[in-house]
Copies of this chain bind each other. A is one copy, B any other.
Amino acid sequence: MRDTARQIIRINDPHDPRIAEFRDIRERDLVGRHGQFIAEGTVVLRMLAAAHVSAKARFRAETLLLLENRLEGLGEILAAFPAEVPVYVASAAVLDQIAGFHLHRGVLALGSRMLEQGADALLNALPEKALVGVCCGISNHDNIGSIFRNAAAFGVSALLLDETCCDPLYRKALRVSVGSVLSVPFARGGAALSLLETVDRAGFAIFGLSPRGEIDIRNVPKGNRVALVTGTEGEGLPAHIMERFQTARIPQMPQLDSLNAATATGIALYEMARGQDLLG
């Protein structure tokens, strides 16, 4: 399976310009990269390879940077990338100097977003039968990553993130999503209400998720196009969204702090996917 045509380039100097994009990645995470992102770990790397060679080509790998002793075990994944993607290797000492902290996984890739669709275009491209998730104000990278992972598990066609959500291509969100950010189509931007009006115009029945929702999540009517809206964990959805759209609740014990936002979204998507017969 090993790709013999590929050249493996050894990096000895942490200041080598060829791996400049991997330098001090923790600090760079905070500023945003304008369409570039860092993928970390073998699971995410495998998803990046799949995205790179897919016909949709929404993402591509620019460069790989690996700990030298990981090379042997990654043969199959590396073979999935075209030979023109450069693969750099470094010792643990050099790699830690590049990254700016101890990188025990030893597997990094620089990726680029090739295609950025708006919510309108994304929704128009969906099949007639589709389940969509809309996130409003999910600013925690763990939660946004988990929501992508849950969306992938339950066959969600697309996720729409309002302008107050964090970037799912941030390194930690990507890792928590086990790479699902690269497989579940998404759009990010716009105010929550105007985003939901776009979803409404695309023919989706919209349900806001809230512990005070009107109907039991299991009783969401079957329909071809259904959308779930999730708000922040503390505050939930804003009043003007709750008033404008239908709302649904997950039955649970009354208590101070209900479910985590990502878990609640997971359960709701699970119920809605079952209702739409999306699952086996």
Contact = CB atoms under 8 A, between A and B. Distances in A.
A270 interface: yes
Contact of A267 (B146, B252, B266): B266
Contacts of A251: 274, 279-280
B153 A43 contact: no
Interface in A30-55: 43, 46
A31 B146 CA distance: 30
A173 to B, nearest CB: 14
Provide the main secondary structure of the chain A interface: loop
A149 B259 contact: yes
Contacts of A266: 259, 263, 266-267
A207 to B, nearest CB: 17
Interface string A255-268: 11111101100110
Contacts of A253: 152-155, 279
A274 B218 CA distance: 11
A210 interface: no
Interface string A157-192: 000000000000000000000110000000000000
A150 interface: yes
A235 B262 CA distance: 23
A263 B150 contact: yes
Most buried by B among A149, A218, A254: A149
Contacts of A149: 257, 259-260, 263
B255 A152 contact: yes
Given A155-B253, A274-B251, A150 B279 contact: no
Nearest to A176: B260
B153 A252 contact: yes
Given A153-B258, A255-B152, A250 B263 contact: no
A268 to B, nearest CB: 10
Contact of A146 (B154, B179, B263, B274): B263
A278 to B, nearest CB: 8
Contacts of A154: 252-253
18 contacts: A149-B259, A149-B260, A149-B263, A152-B253, A155-B252, A178-B256, A178-B257, A179-B257, A218-B274, A250-B270, A251-B274, A251-B279, A252-B270, A252-B279, A263-B263, A263-B266, A266-B267, A267-B267
4 tightest A-B contacts by CB? A251-B279, A178-B257, A153-B252, A155-B253
